[in-house]
Amino acid sequence: MANLFKAQILTPDGTLFDGEVTGVQVPGSNGDFLMLFNHAPIVSTLGIGPVILKINDETEIQFAITGGFVEMNENSMTLLAEKAEEASAIDVKEARRLYDDAKARMKDKKADLELAERDLKIAKNKLRVAE
């Protein structure tokens, strides 16, 4: 039997996941990392990227997040995301539209390039998680 630990994904809109997992991969600000049973205590900021919950050897649930924080302590992980969408809830058509819009703004000299780059990264992440 796999070693399980408690995991929660919370957003300002509510709880997206609350259950037991065998592992969680998150997009840390300095790179992706994986937390398993008995992981050392950690608090980390998160960037834009996928969160992968490993439920067991054959089942994963993916979320696209846009930043936040994660804490792991005593086999309990809490992830606080600014925004998060489960893969199955992502509107691929809308994500493609956001991607195209952000790409167009990147070429516009009057546009806020920093915001356009962030929006492009968010759209790419949604498309990657959804597909």
Per-residue pLDDT reduced to its tens digit, 37-91: 999 999 999 999 999 999 987 899 999 999 999 999 999 999 999 999 999 999 9
104, 120: one domain: yes
The tally of domains found in the chain comes to: 2
78, 123: one domain: no
56, 103: one domain: no
pTM to 2 decimal places = 0.90
23, 49: one domain: yes
67, 110: one domain: no
Residues 6+ apart with CB under 8 A from 114: none
42, 69: one domain: yes
So what's the pLDDT on residue 36? 95
- The boundaries of the domain holding residue 11 are 5-86
Mean pLDDT of the chain: 93
